[in-house]
């Protein structure tokens, strides 16, 4: 008998200059930030696809705005189903996406961001196994060093609903607030090793240094950084998001 499949949702936006990674763009410019956003998305999707081969994941890319489906489809390729999700605020949108996934995969659902190029397939697979092997009130979390989290997994949308009630999303207390809410509602949280999301110039500097010690990781991001360095040395600008169906 095959193991139950876990849903995995990738929360993503199209890599549009001036509209994506705006904090990072303050350091490197709109075109470069969009190029890196595309690479981050590609590497996250690849890690998820590799995890799916190990643990069995139903992969869905939840996107906004509504007109981004063709852009994102060209980057992600046919392995990903694209579903528009925008409930007006981040918490409501996350809860909506989890509800969609759990309707398909009642044994558990994961959501992850698309700006964690160094997240590994092993981390995603470990989160899926926590849900598969746990109870209905289990919650899996991958923290980020900025005080938030980059991946969350639940078994029951109703039990997890308090986790996505209004809060200062994007602030340094997101993880702590989530843990407090989980404890208050008797949810069992499991924390995996932190993974850093890339939001600004300091994060990018860290990423460059980290990639020197991890030569096999984040190939799309590594290639994008190399191309940006070459473009900068030539004094050129411009951005065309590549299609990557790997």
Residue 59 phi/psi, 5-degree rounding, is -100, 130
Specify the pLDDT at position 2. 63
For the chain, give the mean pLDDT: 92
Residue 129 banded pLDDT, cuts 50, 70, 90: very high
Report whether pLDDT(13) > 90: yes
Sign of the four-CA dihedral 162, 163, 168, 173: positive
Q: What Rg, from alpha-carbon coordinates, does the chain have?
A: 17
Q: Give the closest residue to 12 by CA, choosing from 88, 95, 84, 74.
A: 84
Largest CA distance in the chain: 58
Over the stretch 22-65, which tens digit does the pLDDT of each residue have?
999 999 999 999 999 999 999 999 999 999 999 999 999 999 99
160 or 182: which leads in pLDDT: 182
Tokens for 34?
């969009």
Residue 235 banded pLDDT, cuts 50, 70, 90: low
Burial of 227 (0-12, 13-18, 19+ CB in 10 A): middle
Residue 236 banded pLDDT, cuts 50, 70, 90: low
Over the stretch 97-116, which tens digit does the pLDDT of each residue have?
999 999 999 999 999 999 99
Domains of the chain in sequence order: 6-234 (3.90.550.10)
Query: Per the confidence metrics, is the pTM higher than 0.75?
Result: yes
- Residue that has been written with the tokens 């997994």 in this structure: 153
Specify the pLDDT at position 1. 45
Report whether pLDDT(148) > 80: yes
Rounded-to-integer distance, Cα 150 and Cα 10, Å = 10
118-127, 131-140, 190-199, range with the lowest pLDDT: 131-140
């Amino acid at each position: 008998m095959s193991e139950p499949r876990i849903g995995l949702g990738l929360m993503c936006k199209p890599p549009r200059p001036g509209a994506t990674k705006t904090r990072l763009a303050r350091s490197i410019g709109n075109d470069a930030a969009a190029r890196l956003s595309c690479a981050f998305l590609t590497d996250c999707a690849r890690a998820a696809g590799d995890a799916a081969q190990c643990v069995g994941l139903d992969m869905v890319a939840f996107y906004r705005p509504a007109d981004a489906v063709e852009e994102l489809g060209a980057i992600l390729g046919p392995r990903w189903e694209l579903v528009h999700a925008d409930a007006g605020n981040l918490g409501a949108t996350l809860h909506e996406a989890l509800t969609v996934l759990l309707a398909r995969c009642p044994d558990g659902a994961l959501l992850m961001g698309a700006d964690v190029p160094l997240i590994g397939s092993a981390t995603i697979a470990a989160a899926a196994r926590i849900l598969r092997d746990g109870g209905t009130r289990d919650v899996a979390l991958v923290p980020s060093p900025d005080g938030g989290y980059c991946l969350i997994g639940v078994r029951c949308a109703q039990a997890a609903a308090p986790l996505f009630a209004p809060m200062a999303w994007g602030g340094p207390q997101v993880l702590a607030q989530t843990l407090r809410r989980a404890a208050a509602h008797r949810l069992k949280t499991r924390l995996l090793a932190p993974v850093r999301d890339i939001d600004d110039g300091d994060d990018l500097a860290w990423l460059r240094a980290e990639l020197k010690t991890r030569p096999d990781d984040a190939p799309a991001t590594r290639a994008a950084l190399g191309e940006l360095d070459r473009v900068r040395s030539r004094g050129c600008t411009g951005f065309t998001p590549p299609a990557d169906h790997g």
